[in-house]
Chain A
């Protein structure tokens, strides 16, 4: 009788393989299960608010009238944060990765990472107690000289506790996220491509435009989206800084509200349908964040052919 000598295998090695693939698969499934569980909870709890008669919802005009202004407020705060943080973060990341002397770069990178370690309630306290007060003269100036632009319409808030201040505080909070991710991406630019640009007679900045930024583009977008996720969901800082109110076009008057802060401020005393309304607001935030991430994915894959991954 002949036996195939190749059929015997090393039992221990195979077992390790199985354990590892099982563990990896379980971890993957767990994430999906948690995500599904949260989504299910949000939907089930939100349904009463979505189906309730308009008059029963806070404000008396139905859920849509209730949620629309705070969705817009959330987006405004997040956009302000990104508009301020993105250029600064990319600048700092480029400085650390391509301009600064090595020792300074290491120190600076560490300091930026430290920004991420500050609890959000501390940011909120700083924004409310210090930044708002210090920045209100600037708002007066904006109202006086740029007041004809609707977003700077006066009278400026005397306390400075406006959506713009909240946006600025958020920008400081998302800065370390965008900076450290961008820095890592920039450091991974292949030396080959940097040298190709330099050898063609590129200056340092041209080399960065030619080799570093195009290579890092998908990473920068991912970094911005992570920052946006944080800015959309940030609760404590906004709740402390913003003196909330109805939706207002002016960024330097008090008013506006974000979803996360609305939930945080009202949830402890809420009961009955009010709880369902707040959870439905959470569902809306969840959907917005999901949408943002899907758009980011789409932007990244759109240029896959030219991504440098092939």
Chain B
């Protein structure tokens, strides 16, 4: 499990507006890659192109290639539904399904496409996914209670459990800790460190310390100004991005001189 991602000459549009321009990036399997940059620079937009969630918005489209171990996500005949089972996603705000129990939330993705699963296998999968998301001990006695009754940090880990239950190749995280308190953030960061043993993890974050703590490689995105497209400025090992960036813009950003 876990595949690499290679992006070639990707342009991302909202209607006629070019939001992200000409991205080329190679993301290693079983690593954590962080996207950093000022608000509106297109890092979340770009992240959403990696599992074809971008096109959910009306008028949104892309040009270019995203290769998952060599297979183009945007090739002819590719079903976005299939793509999303391979590339899971965790969102900015925890979004467990409020009408489902904790158990059903974990199984939500597994039960899709009319797949049948025996009760024993389902129980095992629920435990494995919740253990994988460091949540098992906190919820094992109330699996039938609604997921919305958990704290924010627990909800976010439930969402991660839900994402890993379908055994994706890649997990995308869009600012997963921005709505969480520091303790919950720490729990999620620890989890990200464990996830990279099995999955390719890509995380968007506004928190540079977080990028420095959790990622192996960091990509810095920037925009020239309002209405201009976002661009990938620099992509390198996290240590060199934070200690020895090759671009002036990166250095200004990570040293806090702007943004």
Residue of A nearest to B168 (CB): A201
Residue of A nearest to B114 (CB): A206
B51 — which chain A residues lie within 8 A by C-beta? 199
Chain B, 131-184, CB within 8 A of any chain A CB = 145-146, 148-149, 159, 162-163, 166
Question: Contact flags (1/0) for B51-69 with A, using CB distance below 8 Å?
Answer: 1010010100000000000
Q: Does B95 contact A (CB under 8 A)?
A: yes
Q: Does B91 contact A (CB under 8 A)?
A: yes
Residue of B nearest to A204 (CB): B81
B112 — which chain A residues lie within 8 A by C-beta? 200-203, 206
Chain A, 177-197, CB within 8 A of any chain B CB = 190, 192-193, 195-197
B146 — which chain A residues lie within 8 A by C-beta? 305-306, 310
What is the CA–CA distance of A215 and B148 in the complex, to the nearest angstrom? Answer: 13
Chain A, 254-310, CB within 8 A of any chain B CB = 303, 305-310
What is the CA–CA distance of A193 and B82 in the complex, to the nearest angstrom? Answer: 19
Give B90 Cβ to nearest chain A Cβ, in Å: 8
Q: Does B8 contact A (CB under 8 A)?
A: no
Residue of B nearest to A310 (CB): B148
What is the CA–CA distance of A217 and B97 in the complex, to the nearest angstrom? Answer: 14
With A201-B84, A310-B148 known to touch, is A193 a contact of B98 (CB < 8 Å)?
yes
Q: Is the CB of B53 within 8 A of A214?
A: no
Q: Does B93 contact A (CB under 8 A)?
A: yes
Q: Does B108 contact A (CB under 8 A)?
A: yes
What is the CA–CA distance of A230 and B79 in the complex, to the nearest angstrom? Answer: 45
Question: Contact flags (1/0) for A121-140 with B, using CB distance below 8 Å?
Answer: 00000000000000000000
Chain B, 16-63, CB within 8 A of any chain A CB = 51, 53, 56, 58
Tell me the total A-B contact number using a CB cutoff of 8 A.
85
Q: Is the CB of B99 within 8 A of A201?
A: no
Q: Is the CB of A199 within 8 A of B82?
A: no
Chain B residues with a Cβ closer than 8 Å to the other chain, count: 31
Chain A, 185-237, CB within 8 A of any chain B CB = 190, 192-193, 195-203, 206, 210-211, 214-215, 217
Give B209 Cβ to nearest chain A Cβ, in Å: 26
* Candidate in B84, B95, B162 with the most chain A CB atoms within 10 angstroms: B95
A306 — which chain B residues lie within 8 A by C-beta? 98-101, 146
Q: Is the CB of B99 within 8 A of A206?
A: no
Q: Does B230 contact A (CB under 8 A)?
A: no
Q: Does A102 contact B (CB under 8 A)?
A: yes
Chain B, 81-130, CB within 8 A of any chain A CB = 81-82, 84-85, 88-89, 91, 93, 95-101, 108-109, 112-113
A195 — which chain B residues lie within 8 A by C-beta? 53, 56, 89, 91, 95
With A102-B58, A203-B81 known to touch, is A197 a contact of B108 (CB < 8 Å)?
yes
Contact of B109 among A192, A200, A203 (CB under 8 A): A200
With A196-B159, A206-B113, A210-B108 known to touch, is A310 a contact of B98 (CB < 8 Å)?
yes
Give B167 Cβ to nearest chain A Cβ, in Å: 11
With A102-B58, A310-B148 known to touch, is A196 a contact of B84 (CB < 8 Å)?
no
* Candidate in B58, B96, B113, B146 with the most chain A CB atoms within 10 angstroms: B146
What is the CA–CA distance of A102 and B159 in the complex, to the nearest angstrom? Answer: 31
Q: Is the CB of A310 within 8 A of B97?
A: no
Q: Is the CB of A199 within 8 A of B89?
A: yes
Give A188 Cβ to nearest chain B Cβ, in Å: 13
Q: Is the CB of B162 within 8 A of A200?
A: yes
What is the CA–CA distance of A201 and B77 in the complex, to the nearest angstrom? Answer: 16
With A200-B166, A305-B146, A310-B148 known to touch, is A193 a contact of B95 (CB < 8 Å)?
yes
A214 — which chain B residues lie within 8 A by C-beta? 97-100
Contact of A201 among B91, B95, B109, B145 (CB under 8 A): B109
Q: Is the CB of A201 within 8 A of B93?
A: no
What is the CA–CA distance of A211 and B105 in the complex, to the nearest angstrom? Answer: 11
What is the CA–CA distance of A12 and B58 in the complex, to the nearest angstrom? Answer: 48
Interface of A toward B, CB cutoff 8 Å: 102, 190, 192-193, 195-203, 206, 210-211, 214-215, 217, 303, 305-310
What are 14 A-B pairs with beta-carbon distances under 8 A?
A: A195-B91, A200-B85, A201-B112, A201-B166, A203-B113, A214-B98, A214-B99, A215-B98, A217-B99, A305-B149, A306-B98, A306-B101, A310-B146, A310-B149
Give 16 A-B pairs besides A201-B81, A201-B166, A214-B99 with Cβ atoms closer than 8 angstroms. Answer: A102-B58, A190-B95, A195-B89, A199-B53, A199-B88, A199-B91, A199-B163, A200-B85, A201-B85, A202-B109, A211-B97, A214-B100, A215-B98, A306-B99, A308-B98, A310-B146
The 4 closest A-B pairs by CB, nearest first: A308-B98, A200-B109, A201-B85, A214-B99
